[in-house]
Structure 1
Amino acid sequence: MSESTKITVQSSDGLENAIKVAFASKDLENINAHFGGAKEFVVYDVSKEGFKLSGVIKTDTSELNGDDKTDFKVKALSGIHIMYCESIGGTAAAKVIRGGINPMKVTEPRKIEDVLSELVTMINGNPPPWVKKIMNIQTTQDPRLERWTAE
């Protein structure tokens, strides 16, 4: 039977309101794996304060067939808020979304650290509503608020 292994990093300094972001990677440094073919997902906690390595989720789906592989990976990624990969099929993306994970595709391999820095910058700016919801951030800078209160 196929198994997943979650390797966690123990740390005493937690990040406040952190989201868990997983990256499909062949080398633990770049987003360079297809969701279905990824054997490892590097997981980081990301917040306004920055990011830190949370762990690695190793998945082995070699003994599974078809949709069982996708279901297995979604279950292994339980608790992840955003998952980056090089590519993902439509059916797999739908299952990932139903599992409560927001899939994000990159058009070409990218350094994980670059994407993490961009996420921290975005969180400290005006993140999209779906990120605010995950992080429990109150909407205070939305220009629509003035219109709603004026009505």
Structure 2
Amino acid sequence: MKISFASTDGVHVNQHFGWCDTFYMYEVNEEGYHFIKELDASLKLEDEIDKLEYKITSLEDSDIVCVLQIGPKASTMVQKSGIYPMSSNEENIEYVITKIQKMMRENPPLWLKRILLK
């Protein structure tokens, strides 16, 4: 599955979804992970809905987006686009990946099972 992380440095989950200029996409499975690419989301749009739609489009084919924070409207829009929004408290991206891999191997929650069955 593909997970994109909202980050200013490519190391920590430290950006609010609506303010993020770059998402870092990883391919993740139970055995390992690798960095795929940076996703540019830096275009500044005035209208909130246009901005959120642009951010969602910039996530390409991500299954999960991991952010520091996400507002309720953005969260709903992200979910409706087929991407699962996940928040994290300024943790290291690699640490978050290992937590998700552990969930995959042990007893994945329903939201993760749905992604894995795609």
State the TM-score, normalized to the length of structure 2: 0.93
Which residue pairs with 1:38 in the alignment? 20
Which residue pairs with 2:56 in the alignment? 74
CA distance in structure 2 between the aligned counterparts of 1:55 and 1:32, rounded to whole angstroms: 18
Question: Normalized per residue, which structure has more helix?
Answer: 2
Which residue pairs with 2:94 in the alignment? 113
Q: Does 1:94 pair with 2:76? A: yes
Please list every run of at least 4 consecutive aligned residues from structure 1 whose deviation after the TM superposition is greater than 2 angstroms.
Answer: none
Residue 23 of structure 1 aligns to a residue in which SS? strand
Which residue pairs with 1:21 in the alignment? 3
Aligned counterpart in structure 2 of residue 127 of structure 1, from 78, 85, 108: 108
1:130 CA displacement: 2.5
Aligned letter for 1:136? L
Q: Which runs of 5+ in 2 are unaligned?
A: none
Q: Which has the larger radius of gyration?
A: 1
Deviation sequence 1:84-123 (CA, Å, 0-9, x none)? 11111111111000010110112x3110010011111111
CA distance in structure 2 between the aligned counterparts of 1:63 and 1:82, rounded to whole angstroms: 23
More relative contact order in 1 or in 2 (CA 8 Å, sep 6+)?
2
Task: Give the aligned length.
Answer: 118
Residues 83 and 101, structure 1, Cα contact 8 Å, conserved in 2: yes
CA distance in structure 1 between the aligned counterparts of 2:107 and 2:32, rounded to whole angstroms: 16
Residue 61 of structure 1 aligns to a residue in which SS? coil
**Root mean square deviation of aligned Cα:** 1.4
State the TM-score, normalized to the length of structure 1: 0.73
